[in-house]
Chain A
Amino acid sequence: MSARPIATTRSAAGMPTARLAVWWIIASEIVIFGGLLGSYIMHRLAHGVWADYAAATNPWIGGFNTFVLLTSSLMAVLGHQAAERGDGPRAAKMLYLTCGGGLLFICVKAYEWTTEISHGMTITANTFWSFYYTAAGIHALHVIAGCIIMLFVAQTAKKNLELHRVEIIGIYWHFVDVVWIFLFPLLYIAK
């Protein structure tokens, strides 16, 4: 009898269960981020003064972080490609590079937040900054969680084991990228 759990191999839903699970997670995440962004949009439209607050955010830093996340997404999908070919070591290398992108994103965010907080733009300054730190903060937590999971996945992928996980963490990472794609214009561009 195989020790491999049935849940990772059966395909009653027409797709691997792990892939189905990550799509459920994404669906629930859409509700979380969607609610947050929806609230932000309605407040932003209702309070014209928020445009003044938003003017203090730096679109070049936000743009650079978008570049970093898009590039890390490329690395993730190339890792998936490698896993499809059965090339575990290359898949692991791509995941490490993806992780590096996540780390760079967090470092840039830390620099950005330090600058803003030192200028008095704290989470309690007003409702705009509350939304700003909450939305970007929850997103940053997802980046950190993704990086940690990715390191575990890369460890096994390096040994050519459990290569299907490379695709699963990749889908999650792309979603984190998509969330940022919407956060970027909302927080940095619309002024």
Chain B
Amino acid sequence: MSAHEAHGDEFYVKTWAILLVLLLISVLGPLLGHPVLTLITAFGIAVVKAYLVAVRFMHINLTPRFVTYAVATTLVFMLLFFAGTAPDVMKNHGTNWVKPAWIQAEAAYAAEVASGAAGHHGAGGHGEAPHGGEAAPAHH
């Protein structure tokens, strides 16, 4: 059927073992509490794991090249979406639009947490919404 059969079962078991080791590192790494280390161990390793699954399990490298291009194009569209909408979402402190009340409430809550007055609110996050959440309009 394909070049897939060139590998024996051991190859896949070995790949699975590598994935489990990577999983362990991605869980334990963030426990060290270093932000950069967390980024590397959590997200860097996620990319490596996804690559291993795509190549060794899905055999994307054995499909015609246009498939890889099609998949890569969708990823580019995702980045375009991010680039197009992130400025509005991430820079919400402008003056030329009406901000929904929940953004102001969230800012107040963040300030409260920063000042250490939030007590158990921030630590547990047991669903205490500092804002109206879904009731708020989406426009900024």
Interface residues in chain A, defined as those with a beta carbon under 8 Å from any beta carbon in chain B: 13-15, 19-20, 23-24, 26-28, 30-31, 34-35, 38-39, 41-43, 45-49, 52-56, 59-60, 63, 66-67, 70-71, 73-74, 76-78, 80-81, 83-85, 119-122, 124-130, 164, 167, 170-171, 174-175, 177-178, 181-182, 184-185, 189-191
Contacts and interface: CB of A to CB of B under 8 A. Distances in A.
12 contacts: A19-B63, A27-B70, A56-B124, A77-B57, A78-B12, A120-B126, A121-B125, A121-B127, A130-B133, A174-B58, A181-B50, A190-B42
Nearest to A52: B122
B64 interface: yes
A66 B21 CA distance: 12
Contacts of A191: 30
A66 B57 contact: no
Contacts of B102: 127
Contacts of B73: 27
Most buried by B among A46, A49, A122, A127: A49
Contact of B70 (A23, A76, A80, A125): A23
Contacts of B106: 47, 49
Contacts of A38: 78, 81-82, 85
B63 A23 contact: yes
A24 B67 CA distance: 8
A174 B63 contact: no
Interface in B31-75: 38, 42-43, 46, 49-50, 53-54, 56-58, 63-64, 66-67, 70-71, 73-75
Given A26-B71, A31-B77, A119-B126, 15 more contacts: A15-B63, A24-B70, A30-B71, A31-B78, A42-B82, A49-B106, A52-B125, A67-B20, A74-B16, A77-B57, A81-B9, A124-B133, A125-B127, A177-B53, A184-B26
A55 B27 CA distance: 14
B104 interface: no
B98 interface: no
Interface of B: 1-2, 4-5, 7-9, 12-13, 15-16, 19-20, 23, 26-27, 30, 38, 42-43, 46, 49-50, 53-54, 56-58, 63-64, 66-67, 70-71, 73-75, 77-78, 81-82, 85-86, 89-92, 102, 106, 109-110, 113, 121-131, 133-134
A121 to B, nearest CB: 4
A42 B89 contact: yes
A38 B90 CA distance: 12
B122 A49 contact: yes
Contact of B74 (A31, A47, A76, A125): A31
A85 B2 CA distance: 11
A53 B9 contact: no
B86 to A, nearest CB: 5
Contact of A77 (B12, B23, B75, B133): B12
Contact of B26 (A54, A55, A119, A189): A189
